[in-house]
Amino acid sequence: MRVVTLEEHVSFPEMINLIPDGILGNRRPSNAALQMMPKLEDITGERLASMNESGISMQVLSVENTDVNLLDNSSAPDFASKYNDLLAEKIKDHPERFAAFAHLPMTAPAAAADELERTVKDYNFRGAMIKGLINGEFLDAPKFAPVFERAEKLGVPIYIHPGIPPQAVMDAYYSNVGSKTGPFEAIACWGWGWHSETAIHVLRLLAAGTFDRYPKLKIIIGHMGEMLPIMWVRSERAFKLGAGGENQRTLADTFRQQLHITTSGFFTQPPLQLALDTIGIDNIMLSVDYPFSSNQMGIEFLNNIQLPADQVAKIAHENADKLLGL
């Protein structure tokens, strides 16, 4: 069976080195991140060998780091453009195995919209990935409208991925846990915090009427729906029409029409069943979260799905092929 995964990460040292130390501050890659760097920068070595061994037909690649958001609106566009050029160069000889999401200079929204269009038209990129908040702002802020407008016009999705929480949130919620001083990253990030923040991000877009203003816009989120399926019924009641938001459709109708989720990093069946019961089979796509999870974990999960073969095929590749035009 054809297998497509679309939350698979890259990071290139030559681009990180272009960021001045004074801007990165204490956000230079950690020791753990540095240990992962060989896997992140590799395209056709261990990554491709692992895909072949596990039976993954195609990865859709996206830039792991959020350094571009630290740059001002005068320097961010050039940095993002160079990153996308480099990514396109690295995958050009394997179009049947790799596609990509654009890296956007979101501190300059108009330039970000232009960069999205450039990468789609010049390199056949399949959309864009935006990671976390942009200098503390959610994407429902009116300033980011050009990106959504352009994505809808181009017919490509925006993948909203978690990012490092703002410092004020780190201080208030995720620091000084017990006797530990400073932030507790497991709670702040992959253990809980950034999943709930991404769910808030999507709910804000709903409440702000963003989905209604761009009814053909498609949004992707990962990690089996970033907690939204478990909150589905309660949130549907909370965001009902007339409850104070600007949304013109219900949460369930909006999300089933415009929200797509991936399985990235979630490899057990109960969360999948909950996603099937809420957002539905046509909105779920396989992803691994490589290299932070292994391709073999993703394939084992896929092989254990207790659904008819035609429905497994939707999750494995058909939904992604349709949404991304693969």
In words, the CATH class of domain 4-161+192-324 is: alpha beta
Dihedral class, residue 55 (left if φ above 0, else alpha if ψ from -120 to 50, else beta): left
Distances (CA, A) of 177 to 112, 162, 207, 267: 38, 22, 32, 29
Give the tens place of pLDDT for each residue, 134-182.
989 999 999 999 999 999 999 999 999 998 888 899 899 999 899 888 8
100 forms beta bridges with: 61
In angstroms, rounded to a whole number, what is the distance separating the alpha carbons of residues 300 and 303?
Answer: 5
* The predicted structure's pLDDT at residue 32: 59
pTM for the whole structure: 0.95
Give the tens place of pLDDT for each residue, 9-58.
999 988 877 777 666 554 555 555 678 899 999 999 999 999 999 999 99
In angstroms, rounded to a whole number, what is the distance separating the alpha carbons of residues 172 and 181?
Answer: 13
Averaged pLDDT of the chain: 93
- Which is nearest to 239 in space by CA: 199, 270, 275? 199
User: Which residue spans within the chain are E strands per DSSP?
Assistant: 4-10, 58-63, 98-100, 102-103, 128-131, 158-161, 219-221, 259-262, 284-285
With a cut of 70, say whether residue 118 has pLDDT above it: yes
In angstroms, rounded to a whole number, what is the distance separating the alpha carbons of residues 299 and 224?
Answer: 16
User: CB count, 10 Å around CB of 38?
Assistant: 12
- Sheet holding 259-262: strands in order across? 102-103, 128-131, 158-161, 219-221, 259-262, 284-285
Q: How many residues can be counted in the chain? A: 326
In angstroms, rounded to a whole number, what is the distance separating the alpha carbons of residues 244 and 106?
Answer: 28
Give the tens place of pLDDT for each residue, 20-34.
766 655 455 555 567
The one-letter amino acid at 74: S
- Say what percent of the chain tops pLDDT 70: 96
Map out the domains of the chain as residue ranges.
Answer: 4-161+192-324
More confident position, 125 or 191? 125
For residue 314, name the pLDDT band (cuts at 50, 70, 90): very high
In angstroms, rounded to a whole number, what is the distance separating the alpha carbons of residues 91 and 106?
Answer: 24
The CB-side HSE value for 6 (13 A sphere, CA atoms) comes to: 36
- Sheet holding 58-63: strands in order across? 4-10, 58-63, 98-100
For residue 124, name the pLDDT band (cuts at 50, 70, 90): very high
Distances (CA, A) of 137 to 28, 56, 75, 107, 140: 22, 36, 19, 10, 8
Residues 6 or more apart whose CB falls under 8 angstroms from that of 214 comprise 148, 149, 151, 152
Cβ proximity of 64 and 83 under 8 Å: no
Name the token pair of 125.
Answer: 């990129």
The CB-side HSE value for 190 (13 A sphere, CA atoms) comes to: 6
Distances (CA, A) of 14 to 25, 41, 42, 228, 269: 18, 10, 13, 37, 39
Cβ proximity of 224 and 261 under 8 Å: yes
Mean pLDDT calculated for residue range 107-126: 97
In angstroms, rounded to a whole number, what is the distance separating the alpha carbons of residues 135 and 140?
Answer: 13
Cβ proximity of 259 and 202 under 8 Å: yes
Give the tens place of pLDDT for each residue, 221-231.
999 999 999 99
